């Protein structure tokens, strides 16, 4: 797992910050996705918010507090006018997230692991999700031995992970 301390001279901090801003920009502009991100120990961490059926989650992605008048906010929460279109919107948003990570990882291949380390694996493209899962370890419940998270079966005892 990548780990860097602030001020390390052998790490490209400028590329990491540029990658973070590019990911945020692509997801917000092209997919209307709320993104909160930060750098921690030389890796990027993300909170990604998809449309939940309300107008506010689509028009103001990533905002926690209402940007609408009170009457419109109450209507929006009560009726969720986009609830019928939410599966289509979420499908598009997932494609945009995959596009963003693919594009940025191709642009900055030297910090690829730092970009995908803490990314949500269920939203990443397959090859990036597998690479991300290989960086994390989990423990088998029956034999209590450690293996990488990309294994569906424990390599030691053969038990299927749940």
The most confident of 3-17, 51-65, 125-139, by mean pLDDT: 51-65
Given a cut of 80, is residue 151 above it in pLDDT? no
Given a cut of 90, is residue 91 above it in pLDDT? yes
* DSSP-assigned letters across all residues of 136-148: -EEE-TTT--EEE
Please name the helix (run of DSSP H) or strand (run of DSSP E) that holds residue 19, with its range, or none.
helix 13-31
Residue 138 has what pLDDT? 79
What is the mean pLDDT of the segment spanning 55-70?
A: 92
Query: Which of 8-12, 48-52, 108-112 is predicted least confidently?
Result: 8-12
Pick the closest to residue 79 from 54, 60, 61 (CA basis).
Answer: 54
Q: Cα dist. 27→18, 97, 99, 152 in Å?
A: 14, 6, 9, 30
Domain ranges across the chain: 13-124
Given a cut of 80, is residue 162 above it in pLDDT? no
């Amino acid at each position: 797992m990548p780990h860097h301390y602030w001020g390390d001279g052998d790490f490209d901090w400028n590329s990491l910050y540029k990658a973070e801003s590019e990911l945020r920009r692509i997801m917000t502009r092209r997919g209307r996705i709320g993104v909160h991100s930060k750098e921690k120990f030389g890796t990027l961490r993300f909170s990604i918010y998809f449309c939940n059926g309300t107008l506010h989650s689509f028009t103001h992605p990533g905002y926690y507090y209402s940007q609408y008048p009170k009457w419109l906010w109450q209507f929006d929460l009560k009726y969720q006018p986009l609830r019928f279109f939410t599966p289509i919107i979420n499908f598009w948003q997932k494609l945009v997230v995959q596009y963003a990570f693919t594009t940025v990882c191709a642009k900055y291949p030297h910090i690829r692991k730092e970009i995908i380390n803490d990314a949500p694996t269920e939203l990443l493209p397959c090859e990036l999700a597998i690479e991300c899962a290989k960086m994390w370890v989990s423990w088998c419940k029956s034999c209590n031995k450690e293996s990488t998270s990309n294994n569906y079966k424990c390599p030691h005892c053969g038990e299927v992970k749940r």
